[in-house]
A and B are shown apart, each in its own frame.
Chain A
């Protein structure tokens, strides 16, 4: 165990700190998280900050320079230093999200030279907002059963069908989308991964009202949508493989112990400042007991992530340890939200637009949003199957009949 930085990393940490202190006045208030809770076009301030971070190598740092990135060698420890220092300074990190974190690595891995040139730089600079067209009304956890069709017509495909749970479709300019191009092929072999603009004729977007009251998901309908064949990423019929490389990015993205730690710190403040009968609420032993329970969980997840990062830096293979993060991390966040609501008591049920409330009902919103994350991105039950089957080598679920 050696938790100190080596000289190179020590110097890098200093560089990051210097950057933050010299530029923090330019930092926007909005973070990736606030955009996720309420999707909307990026503000100029957010774009400028993102572009500064990309230029300095604090966002999308391993993207090659010919595609607008910083071109750094992958160094997970440096990535962690950036994340930790931005977190400690309470300054927004580089944006993540479907275009930057999911599409970009996929294009770099599977895209043609022209696709990379055309999209990567604009995406990481937050000039293009992407959405992801994966799930369908009848294909959720069994994604490969998707039915949206793309029929060949000369140099184009004609797309018909619909998608659901499409985050941010109502603000996105582009979509990366799974469609069935080879209906005769097996279930996993007939899928292609397409990218095309959301203003292509024949696309209809219906925001999906959710329990939070803030639409973040949509239904997207395709009626004879014409897309050139050059929109395929990774080859016709190879979409399942391409999509799976993207899904693994998503699973990693959804767990983030720093986020849990931030919530824990806010709850600690609540415990110290909220009062009942003129006494700090932290004197309520039952709430304190819950707080310390969650503190231990947050601590264990932070350390567990540190261990995984250290293992990755030493080129150890991913395994059981990586598989548990989404399940445990999402559940933990939801429990933190629950505790915060309970500490607030009656005021904990107040929601949007109460000016007297410092946090404007944010805990209730998170409590619902985080329940959504337990379900989204591979439900908790799917995560348990993955842990049992791939992590513990238990028998696999029988696959649905090959279509």
Chain B
């Protein structure tokens, strides 16, 4: 038994960590966050060199043919460094959607271009996960989509979108298709674009081999990756808090020599440590233990969301007033953790799903009749 990273995975971790530490500074994050763009193009180019968008794409399709576990390792590093580049939609969920539901022709057309970083794909599944809201909902008529889809992930920079209609069929749509409108939704995290998509008879390419189980699997992968990213971001916040508390002097001693402060740091470390194994295992289960994959993903994200919120607020608190200012930039991590919490299912929803999945919830809840509950 070996519970942990292999030598190759340690190399992947090192190379992403090194590149991200070299290229991402507070200025980089701030620049993207304050601009109308939601990604840093230079950073994207370097990460494409490392194979980031093609991690899950097979070698025949010019990807690196790795596993979700490997992608989770990368996501931890992206979160640690607050990397302003798209990942979960274009590098994880979209390739999986094409693999699970696409035809050979669709795969051949899109996967090599995704892997090469030539195209970015946004995912529009929120209504399939949560049920349509505010009158939203997409209907298909002869492969033409109409309606509104909310909370599209990574759509702002995307060349194409994968959209679920009301029947939970998947479609690929070009981002510049006639009749498609992509409205930016300002959110707390300026490096993670959210959009509302308005469709009027938009030409769509159905991913015809899809199934409801397929969507559940894609969403599960996305959840595990978001949990991994929040883990990396939380660890970074803890390290910053500890470093700050060792330097900041108050009352003639460093603030980290007060038990009140030390204990906050200890609590964060104690809560975070076990999360890593939980997330690793969820990713491993996705790759290798199908019967445990869905529950592991639900438990991993719901737990990480809670611990992430605790660490985000506590690490800020340990910084005192400085934590609240924009100067330290700590708030970018705080916001990334908060953003991830709400995406692809908030913890309460995921726990509901986990209960239903285990036959523990007798109450009928229409919101549960989505992906996992079936």
Contact = CB atoms under 8 A, between A and B. Distances in A.
Say if A and B assemble together.
yes
B355 A328 contact: no
Interface of A: 1-6, 9, 77, 268, 271-272, 279-280, 282-283, 285, 288-289, 291-293, 295-297, 299-301, 303-304, 306-307, 309-311, 313-314, 320-321, 324, 327-328, 381, 383-385, 387-389, 391-395, 397
B274 A292 contact: no
Contact of B69 (A1, A282, A321): A1
B8 to A, nearest CB: 12
A78 to B, nearest CB: 11
Interface string B266-284: 1101110111111011001
A381 B4 contact: no
Contacts of A309: 3
A320 B273 contact: yes
Contact of A288 (B278, B303, B351): B351
Given A2-B2, A307-B3, A268 B360 contact: yes
A292 B246 contact: no
Question: A3, A77, A327, A385 — which one has the most chain B CB atoms within 10 A of its CB?
Answer: A3
Contacts of A324: 269-270, 273-274
- A-B pairs, top 10 by smallest CB distance, nearest first, are A310-B3, A296-B303, A303-B277, A304-B274, A384-B266, A388-B262, A395-B257, A387-B266, A292-B351, A300-B274
Question: A307, A389, A391 — which one has the most chain B CB atoms within 10 A of its CB?
Answer: A307
Question: A4, A300, A393 — which one has the most chain B CB atoms within 10 A of its CB?
Answer: A300
A292 B302 contact: yes
Interface of B: 1-6, 69, 242, 245-246, 253-254, 256-257, 259, 262-263, 265-267, 269-271, 273-278, 280-281, 284, 296, 299-300, 302-303, 306, 348, 351-352, 354-355, 360-363
B16 to A, nearest CB: 18
A384 B277 contact: no
B318 to A, nearest CB: 11
A321 B235 CA distance: 13
Contacts, number: 161
Given A293-B306, A296-B302, A328-B270, A310 B245 contact: no
A1 B354 CA distance: 25
Interface of A is mostly: helix
A289 B365 CA distance: 14
Interface of B is mostly: helix
A328 B257 contact: no
Nearest to B283: A1
Nearest to A284: B363
Question: A4, A383, A391 — which one has the most chain B CB atoms within 10 A of its CB?
Answer: A391
B1 A389 contact: no
B4 A394 contact: no
Nearest to A328: B270
Nearest to B351: A292
B1 A303 contact: no
Contact of B262 (A6, A307, A389): A389
18 contacts: A3-B2, A9-B1, A282-B362, A289-B348, A289-B351, A289-B352, A292-B351, A299-B281, A299-B296, A300-B274, A304-B273, A307-B4, A310-B3, A320-B273, A324-B273, A384-B267, A385-B266, A397-B259
